[in-house]
With several copies, the nearest count.
Chain A
Amino acid sequence: MGFLDLPNVISEGDLVMVRLGKSQFKPVTMQSGETLHTRYGSYPHNDMIGKPYGSQIPAMGDKGFVHVLAPTPELWTLSLPHRTQIVYTPDASYIVQRLEIRPGSKVIEAGTGSGSFTHALGRTVGTSGDVWTFEFHEVRWEAAKVELEQHGYKDIVHSFYRDVCSDGFQPASGVHAVFLDLPKPWLAIPSLPQYLELGGISRICCFSPCVEQVIETIKTLKECSWTQIETVEVSCREWIVRKEMRRTLEDVLKRQESFRERRSAIQQRKRKLEELEKQDDDDDSSVVGSPPNKDDIPYVDLYNPWGKGERIVKGDDRFQWDIFSAGERDIKSHTSFLTFAVLAPAPPKMKT
């Protein structure tokens, strides 16, 4: 099954995204007889094949479980090792929307990189569209090409091992949208027009991490008659919802009252002891009843509204809880600058 098939039930040979942790996904190809071994237990493929996608699968003889998910370009992106150059979903989704990529669109991508954005492009153009993708790093090109074919994009995505800056974008033609993720996009921009759709609007996005690259790119886009040039950054924050115990001023005051009571009880006892000692000194025989005991401190129950000293599970209903949301601790603050531009079609003869 390819990414584009929207399958309902897991079959032999399917690529399944196994969800191991919060955002930990492992791509696994189903082969009956095989077993997936993880830190969270072992899972025979036979326990997954035939189940609907989305099923929770219990570990073999263990308490753990995983979910078996259908692959999407977004899950695939999450499963990639982080060190690879990746166009993440917030950027990728914005670029597709802004470049107006649709079913049937013809798109150029250079370089292919990890191929993660290529998946998203292929999903959107569908079987009636084309994505020509170019990569100058041979190992990376090979890896992405193989994956894209395995994932069912064979007829949609056309992969080339090529330096587009020197060698152009053949055999792309009739292209609506161009995405350039290159160290020097300005070297590739001048050759573009011959590959674009005749008499149509073409859109471009150049993906560059540094300001200096952006400035050079904008200069070249202007020289090559691209208009509506705009550079933007996309940022995306995740918000984490959590419970916090409510601690009120009233409780503070009651607690401090109880500290005070305890202190005054201790002082009273101390005074009593001192008095008794004094009497002891004065007249040994006058002691009536039993002498005060060291452990005889009048017990004052400290007001403990927040369970200090106890182990408390969040949400424990002996306490009040507030719901807070906080931004994730480490924010992907900057991925790249996205420089967009539009090339107008050639003007027709004017009627006057």
Chain B
Amino acid sequence: MGAIIKPDAHLILYLPSGNHKIVKVSPGRKVPLGKFGSFDADQILGHPFGLTYEIDNQGCLTVVDSLDSVVDEATWTDSEDNRMLVDDPDSQKMTMDEIETLKKDKQLTGQEIVAKVIESHSAFNKKTAFSQEKYIQRKAQKFLKRFRTQSIGSNELMEYYNAKDPARIMDLRMETLGLMLSLANVQPGGTYLIVDGVSSLVVCAVLERLGPEGQLVLLHENEMVNLEPLQLMGIDLVSDPRVKPVSFLKFLHPEEFRAELEFATAPPPQEQLDQLKTSQRNRTLRRYRKAVQYKNIVDLRNSHSFDALLIATTLQVSGLVQALIPFVHGSRSIVVYHPCKEPLVDLEENITRPDNRLIATQILESAVRPYQSVPGRFHPHMSLERGGGYILHCLRAYPTAVQAQGRR
């Protein structure tokens, strides 16, 4: 059996308009859907993910086949071409008020409203089948009260940020994220070093591939790491034991934190704890646990054997990569994402190519081109959001002591 929707789960709901909405479904609570009204969460709790529902005017849900199909087969006549069609804003005879009346007073469903709207278009049969279909689809997106449920993973997170504020994920897209994970050879049980300036999207995606045994060290540039925003979408990075956040300073300069590391070598003696007030004792124990976690990270660091370094940040990447080379194990990958090519060209020219600890540097640009797949009208989408940015990939090597000269 596939996963089911559990109480208090976070979901992403896809709407006919192509928009989506992140909601939490709690027993006995209503789920608000904006102008579509709302529905009782209980109606979908226990259901599998991936179903599409239609909301009637009472807020009751029915499972339907698709978000935007209206009637099985268009029964209208069409025109070979649009030579008879004259642009006329008055060809739609129904006013918005009349449509509102249909909705509110006549209690028509979305489907029925779309049918009425088409009926009242005076020039509908002068349109080509192509234009008719576009018109119906536009109306369907406007009047159908449907949604599809989906659990939230890295792909949905990416879609969410891409619609809301693509800068927060540095315009990262699925083809490029997928390519990063493959080139970094992310797999169950691995140990990864990550710089994530993309709202923890890389962290999430790596966790999905990590299995229970893997782990990742997350380097952050602030005073404290900020993993809370994803809690609001039901993704708990804060208490995931596989996620080990640490500041650049503490990772790169553990020698400045000797006291903390020494503190972690043995638990505070019981007699010492016994002498403290409860609040002080708890504070000491918390400090000890944090120090142990830090020591654990420093041990990973000192083993120089991360299974890959993944970077997606607005920090200048050249200096970053240079500082982190030593910690990556030989034959493992360094993968750096940037929406623009320039920082990666700089990185290749000034760091990865001159440094013989890095080999096989390549800068890649991956892009996906979607097609419209309406029967009889197959073609690439007319417009497209811009491509998925660039990846620099190279491998960590151990040069021989006496530098071999020559080729390459």
Contact = CB atoms under 8 A, between A and B. Distances in A.
A248 B319 contact: yes
A230 B4 CA distance: 25
B1 interface: yes
B377 A212 contact: yes
Contacts of A103: 188, 209-211
B153 A100 contact: yes
A97 B175 CA distance: 8
A92 to B, nearest CB: 7
A279 interface: no
B407 A250 contact: no
B219 to A, nearest CB: 9
Contacts of A212: 376-378
Given A70-B331, A333-B381, A92 B66 contact: no
A144 B60 CA distance: 53
Contacts of A173: none
Contacts of A168: none
Contacts of B408: 21-22
Given A65-B404, A241-B349, A230 B211 contact: no
Interface in B352-369: 353, 356, 359-360, 362-369
B345 A64 contact: no
Contacts of B395: 54, 67, 69
B376 A329 contact: no
A114 to B, nearest CB: 12
B364 A239 contact: yes
Contacts of B373: 214, 218, 229-231, 339
Chain A contact patch, size range? 35 or more
Contacts of A120: 182
Contacts of B380: 233, 333-334
B383 interface: yes
Contacts, number: 336
A54 B397 contact: yes
Contact of B341 (A98, A218, A239, A328): A239
Contact of A97 (B82, B174, B384): B174
Contact of B359 (A67, A227, A259): A67
B179 interface: yes
A86 to B, nearest CB: 12
B147 to A, nearest CB: 13
Interface string A52-86: 11111111000111011110111000000000000
Contacts of B381: 333-334
A90 B178 CA distance: 8
Contacts of A278: none
Nearest to B247: A256
B228 interface: no
Given A63-B406, A136-B83, A352-B60, A235 B367 contact: yes
B73 interface: no
Interface in A111-160: 120, 123-124, 126-128, 136-139
A53 B378 contact: no
A89 B181 CA distance: 11
A46 interface: no
A330 interface: yes
B404 A64 contact: yes
B398 A56 contact: yes
B382 interface: yes
B305 interface: yes
A257 to B, nearest CB: 6
B63 A347 contact: yes
A123 B386 contact: no
Nearest to B3: A200
Interface string B95-108: 00000000000000
B371 A19 contact: no
B178 A96 contact: yes
Contacts of A69: 331, 395
Given A183-B81, A198-B1, A200-B48, A92 B182 contact: yes
A44 B350 CA distance: 34
Contacts of A241: 345, 348-349, 353, 363
B370 A351 contact: no
B370 A232 contact: yes
Max chain A Cβ within 10 angstroms of own Cβ: one of B60, B190, B387: B387
B34 interface: no
Interface in B209-259: 209-211, 221-223, 247-250, 252-253
Interface of A: 4, 6, 8, 19, 21-23, 40, 51-59, 63-65, 67-70, 72-74, 89-90, 92-98, 100, 102-104, 120, 123-124, 126-128, 136-139, 163, 183-184, 197-201, 209-212, 214-215, 218-219, 225, 227, 229-239, 241, 244, 246-250, 252-253, 255-257, 259-260, 263, 322-335, 337, 339, 342, 344-345, 347-348, 350-352
Interface of B: 1-4, 42-43, 46-52, 60-63, 65-66, 80-83, 85-87, 128, 153-155, 174-175, 177-179, 181-183, 185, 187-190, 205, 208-211, 221-223, 247-250, 252-253, 305, 307, 314-316, 319-320, 323, 329-332, 339-343, 345-346, 348-349, 353, 356, 359-360, 362-371, 373, 375-387, 390, 395-400, 402, 404-408
Given A209-B379, A212-B378, 7 more contacts: A55-B397, A126-B189, A183-B128, A184-B80, A200-B2, A239-B345, A252-B221
6 contacts: A22-B408, A199-B2, A199-B4, A199-B48, A236-B365, A249-B316
The 9 A-B pairs of least Cβ separation, nearest first, read A54-B330, A200-B2, A97-B178, A93-B182, A333-B384, A126-B188, A54-B331, A347-B63, A201-B50
